[in-house]
Amino acid sequence: MRDVAIVAFAQTEHRRRTDELSEVEMLMPVLHQVLDATGLEASSIGFTCSGSTDYLAGRAFSFTMALDGVGAHPPISESHVETDGAWALYEAWVKIRTGEADTALVYAYGKSSSGEVRDVLTRQLDPYYLAPLWPDSVALAALQAQALIDAGATDEPALARIASRSRTAATANPHAQLSGSVPAGGYLVQPLRTGDCPPIGDGAAAVILAAGDTARALCARPAWIRGIDHRIEAHSLGVRDLTDSPSTRLAAERAGAFERPVDTAELHAPFTSQEVILRKVLGLGDDVDVNPSGGALAANPVMATGLVRLGEAAARIHRGESDRALAHATSGPCLQQNLVAVLEGERPHV
């Protein structure tokens, strides 16, 4: 089967609020950026796939409005996933691998500022035993963080160092919402302090995928997707070992992440404690540059954050700053679903 690469990536400046913009108004500039970068036109794209959720906007079928920004007439081949855009990228990758398309436009967006994202995310939980209790996203992450602390895998100062390292890295990222010296703050839900949690904000991202020689023609150094896989584990938190992430480990194995070391890892860890787990299951040592973008702790446009990880990893390969990068995306409570991709620059001829 054909090789597939990410050939262009764009993201908005992620901001706390974008009241003046509708979703499509927020999205359109990044669509134009990736199209301009490749010289492609919307009408020549083989497949378009997006990730978002109506629950952030509080409006049914809000993603159909966003399609106006793509130029869906004359008719295009299009699909939507009601989750992070990283899974839209996976769907597009399958389309290209199977020869259904040569190029794909993948985009994702989220305007968390419209509502209370902590409450909104409770609606993705099991409706019988969990959702009626309204356990918010920070609360569930805090249960996981405490389990890690009890297991001796981390402590509060170590978590604070992850927060600090991420936001320091984000000073080099012009798109980041939160960067530099950010106070640890008080407990949002103990043991997680404000600084251990992601900012709430609005943003969008887009990438273009292409196959084989098309990718080489569109991009000087395509970021080849050497492997990609996603896995899920039980929804119920009480049946899982919250200090582990077997789904991430399995996805990484199937994506080929353990075949050779990576130099960069973009991890979708909205909470500091989740980075501890991901580093462990992915076997990332101190020699790996983890979240040089600042990661989700610097910008967390819900539903686009995972796609941004793939895009940031690809962009480092485009720029020649990485030869082999791992990108991870997550969805669901406490790392329930995990996607891992391994991206590489063209291997030197021997």
Residues binding another protein (CB under 8 A): 19-25, 28, 31-32, 42, 55, 57-59, 65, 67-73, 114-116, 118-120, 123, 127-136, 139-140, 142-147, 150, 186-187, 189-192, 234, 236-239, 242
Shorter beta-carbon distance to another protein: residue 15 or 324? 15
Distance CA 173, CA 169 (A): 7
Distance CA 112, CA 55 (A): 9
**What element of type H or E holds 143?**
helix 137-150
Q: Which long-range contacts (CB under 8 A, 24 or more apart) does 57-60 make?
A: 57/23, 57/111, 57/114, 58/114, 58/115
Among 296, 316, 330, which Cα is nearest to 163's?
296
**Least separation, in Å, of the C-beta of 20 and another protein?**
5
**Least separation, in Å, of the C-beta of 319 and another protein?**
27
**Least separation, in Å, of the C-beta of 58 and another protein?**
4
**Least separation, in Å, of the C-beta of 305 and another protein?**
20
Shorter beta-carbon distance to another protein: residue 68 or 289? 68
**Least separation, in Å, of the C-beta of 181 and another protein?**
24
**Least separation, in Å, of the C-beta of 253 and another protein?**
19
| Virtual torsion, Cα 63, 64, 69, 70, nearest 10 deg | 100
Tokens 């909470």 appear where? 271
Distance CA 49, CA 81 (A): 8
| Virtual torsion, Cα 82, 86, 89, 93, nearest 10 deg | -120
Shorter beta-carbon distance to another protein: residue 24 or 104? 24
Tell me how long the chain is. 350
Distance CA 291, CA 316 (A): 11
Distance CA 82, CA 131 (A): 18
**Least separation, in Å, of the C-beta of 19 and another protein?**
4
Strand order in the sheet with 289-290: 78-81, 47-51, 103-111, 202-211, 4-11, 223-232, 337-344, 324-331, 264-266, 289-290
**Least separation, in Å, of the C-beta of 160 and another protein?**
17
Shorter beta-carbon distance to another protein: residue 101 or 265? 101
Shorter beta-carbon distance to another protein: residue 88 or 125? 125
Shorter beta-carbon distance to another protein: residue 138 or 327? 138
Shorter beta-carbon distance to another protein: residue 142 or 317? 142
Shorter beta-carbon distance to another protein: residue 31 or 255? 31
| CA dihedral sign, ordered 310, 229, 282, 270 | positive
